[in-house]
């Protein structure tokens, strides 16, 4: 029952992606500073278990445990030589869960940023970024990923290097940016310009959109600003905003809030809706019910978004607004 993301988009009006990886692993015992990617080998039952819970909650798309599985990030743990093996194993684990499901499930190979700045602001070259992403994506492809899911991007240069790597290994791709700095990415990109950043690619993305950021209201505003893009739109927002209870980061979003977020995302034109940091299988189940029950309504206004799921954490961006200073995510 294996399928492609493009095929599933033609069969269903709205697809549900899964929720968080890291924050759910922390509940299962992941410690601060421990690479989640090591669990693909050390604790595969936990990795498969979370995939299964998301599938049981109704997700159509599950993301592999490979967000930081590139040589630049793994080098921080002296594990850069394990990039291919860890990526392949992650895809194999997700593939096994998807193949056992009673409905088509897309395995999306998660590809996060390198954590480095591109030259001339930093030392990262396009060639080095391409090679880093290509190695990760070869492992994901060989392990059974259906699509490259390039996420939490800030710099168009880096997103395009990852897209070119996906094309080179024969994988279709999705790109989502994180508009977490005054309504822009950290590199100053506005949501309405996201589609333009991939216009020159010889193979178009399957979808583009936004993920992570600072909360559900803000990512919905980013979604509304991408309206009119020539690709299906993705929104994969955080489950509320985190606060600390002792040493634990707790996200404020309830299943009810994420259900309302899903309804507004449908009204905003999203074709793929999911959760990011803090989103549990319980939240995903609530989103599944909303997607199945909701009939698309009027495009949401800012007032409607605030009234239904709370105030923005960011100020709204303007074209003439001074761009925020560029800095690394590391």
Question: Nearest Cα to 64, choosing from 171, 194, 197?
Answer: 171
CATH of the domain at 281: 3.20.20.330
- Give the position of tokens 């995903």: 284
Q: What is the CA radius of gyration of the chain?
A: 18
The answer as to whether 318 is a domain residue is: no
The answer as to whether 224 is a domain residue is: yes
The answer as to whether 95 is a domain residue is: yes
Work out how many domains the chain is built from and give that number.
1
pLDDT in tens, 234-273: 999 999 887 777 767 788 899 999 999 999 999 999 999 9
The answer as to whether 280 is a domain residue is: yes
Average pLDDT of the residues of the chain: 93
Task: Give how far Cα 119 sits from Cα of 80, 116, 126, 242, 322, Å.
Answer: 21, 9, 8, 33, 22
The answer as to whether 329 is a domain residue is: no
For residue 152, what are the domain limits? 5-309
Helix, strand, or coil here: 149?
A: strand
pLDDT in tens, 122-160: 999 999 999 999 999 999 999 999 999 999 999 999 999
pLDDT in tens, 64-88: 999 999 999 999 999 999 999 999 9
The answer as to whether 239 is a domain residue is: yes
The answer as to whether 116 is a domain residue is: yes
The answer as to whether 230 is a domain residue is: yes
């Amino acid at each position: 029952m294996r399928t492609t993301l493009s095929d599933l988009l033609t069969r269903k009006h709205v697809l549900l992606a899964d929720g968080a990886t890291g924050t759910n692993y922390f509940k299962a015992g992941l410690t601060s500073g421990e690479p989640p990617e090591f669990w693909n080998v050390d604790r595969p039952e936990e990795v498969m278990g979370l995939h299964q819970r998301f599938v049981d909650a109704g997700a159509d798309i599950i993301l592999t445990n490979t967000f930081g599985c590139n040589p630049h990030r793994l080098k921080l743990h002296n594990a850069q030589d394990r990039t291919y093996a860890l990526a392949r194993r992650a895809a194999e684990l997700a593939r096994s869960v998807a193949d056992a499901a009673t409905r088509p499930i897309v395995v999306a190979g998660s590809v996060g940023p390198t954590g480095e700045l591109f030259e001339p602001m930093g030392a990262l070259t396009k060639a080095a970024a391409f090679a880093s992403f290509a190695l990760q994506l070869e492992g994901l492809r060989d392990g059974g990923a259906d699509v490259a899911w390039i996420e939490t991007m800030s710099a168009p240069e880096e997103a395009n290097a990852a897209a070119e790597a996906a094309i080179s290994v024969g994988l279709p791709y999705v790109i989502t940016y994180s508009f977490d700095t005054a309504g822009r990415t950290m590199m100053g990109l506005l949501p309405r310009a996201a589609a333009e950043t991939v216009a020159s690619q010889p193979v178009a993305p399957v979808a583009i959109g936004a993920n992570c950021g600072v909360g559900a209201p803000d990512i919905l505003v980013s979604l509304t600003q991408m309206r009119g893009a020539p690709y299906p739109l993705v929104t994969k927002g955080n489950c509320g905003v985190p606060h600390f209870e002792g040493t634990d980061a707790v996200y404020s979003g309830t299943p009810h809030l994420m259900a309302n977020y899903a309804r507004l995302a449908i009204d905003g034109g999203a074709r793929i809706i999911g959760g990011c940091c803090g989103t549990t299988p319980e939240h995903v189940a609530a989103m599944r019910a909303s997607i199945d029950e909701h009939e698309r309504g009027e495009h949401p206004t800012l007032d409607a978004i605030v009234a239904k799921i709370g105030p923005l954490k960011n100020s709204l961006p303007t074209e003439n607004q001074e761009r925020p200073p560029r800095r690394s995510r590391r």
